[in-house]
Amino acid sequence: MESPNMTLRDVPSEDRPRERMMLYGAQALSNAELLAILLRTGTYQESAVHVAQRLLLECGGLRMLTDMSMEQLTEIKGIGEAKALQIQAGIELGRRLARSTMNETVTIRSPQDVAALLMEDLRYLQKEHFVCLFLNTKNHVIGQETLSMGSLNASIVHPREVFRAAIKRSSASIVCAHNHPSGDPTPSPEDVEISKRLVQAGEIVGIDVLDHIVIGDKRYVSLKELGFM
């Protein structure tokens, strides 16, 4: 590992991230080296690689980096607004790439379809996000909206907000989903309760609630399949 006081100009060309990537491909680079390419420059005292290494150490690793806000990033020495934006742009491109294999018109036929659509967006988040997918009569997704963001262990959503958004889009049905930051998708009693309330409200306004999916880390649970809806 290079010395903290070594700038990129002091590093042999074959050890610089860009040169290494050109020679060996992106897959040969460490997380810090790939991040250094996004940062482009370091500080007077540190190379871009060392700033990237310190950033990953301070935020707790690559996974935690994905959920850092602009304010949190710029609190780290060597990361200004421009570098923070470059990092966030790179993360968002990765998320979009993960979804890019799907057809432009997404059809929901099963819980697996919901998980395929939302997993990469939700699995890394450190707070609960409650998301609704709005479907037409052919079960095509015509809209997606995050309706609430909760604490580390609770997400509060009211049926009023859910169905106001659904009616606005002329939805025939909806699918709800939220993440568990712990990575364990086992439904809580609150998850079951809100699902039942949404189904009841949907029956009143004439919009079916097809399922409620809980997303964990590479795992998900369907409350419909568990018999809670």
> In the chain, where are the structural domains located?
13-101, 111-222
Interstrand relation of 173-179 and 208-215 (parallel, antiparallel or unpaired): parallel
pLDDT < 70 positions in the chain:
1-15, 99-104, 151-155
What's the CATH number of domain 111-222, 1.10.287.10, 3.30.230.10, 3.40.140.10, 3.20.20.70? 3.40.140.10
* Sign of the Cα pseudo-torsion (216, 109, 224, 195, in order): positive
How far does CA 200 lie from the centroid of its chain?
Answer: 30
Q: What is the pLDDT of residue 8?
A: 43
- Output the CA–CA distances (angstroms, integers) from residue 32 to 57, 159, 226, in the order listed: 10, 44, 42
- Give CA–CA dist 16/33, Å, rounded: 8
Residue 100 confidence (pLDDT): 61
Which CATH number does the domain 13-101 belong to among 1.10.150, 1.25.40, 1.10.3470, 1.20.120? Answer: 1.10.150
